Amino acid sequence: MTLSVVDYGAGNILSVMNAFEVIGEEPVLASTPEALMAADRLVLPGVGAAAAVLEKLRQNGMDQALREAVVDHGRPLLGICVGMQVLATTMLEFGETAGLGWMAGETRDIRELGAPRAPHMGWNQAECGETETPFHRQLHNRSFYFCHSFAVTGVPEKLVVATTSYGSSLTAAVGFGTVLATQFHPEKSQLDGQRLLEAFVDWTP
């Protein structure tokens, strides 16, 4: 199995690579559309501004290759932090920007959503709803590390896998098709994060 981390210059790529190596995997970087299409399983990391991430993905056609690999060919994808936010239809950060549009929703400043301050940094507990997914055991009532000033809101309820409480209820994880995406950083979440990464590697959607 080729586990590829999408390489467009994101700041947390190395920590994501290291986290998979800790659980015994040998991830590779995919920095071209061809390399991305050759992957069996993909990870889309991300930190910083979502619009900048999308611009980098679009510069060399990585966005289209990602869609083809995941949406058309059903390769499992794990999105992390901004790697989750860019899946939404709209991002309201430094103006309005169209996202990849894989799911309904928009990325907003967490203070507009009721958060006491931004960024939201630290450990918070994930809480799953009633919709059962293969990841519930690794998510529900587990603590994960968050570092974000924006969050996705307006996601259809059936796609929300987990929420977290930070002044209000924020979307912590979404899932649809062959996609699992988290607002938190599993690569920085110690044992609970490792368990989630292992579950993603073992996942056969």
Q: Which residues are catalytic?
A: 81, 185, 187
Residue 190 CB burial class (10 angstroms; 0-12, 13-18, ≥19): middle
Coil, strand or helix: which one is 21? helix
Structure-block tokens of residue 167: 């002044």
The helix/strand count (H/E) of the chain reads as 7, 14
In angstroms, the CA 18 to CA 7 distance is 14
Burial 116-140 (b: 16+ CB within 10 A, else e): eebebeeebbbebeeeebebbebbe
Tell me phi and psi for residue 178, to 5 degrees. Answer: -105, 25
Peptide bond into 116 cis (omega under 30): no
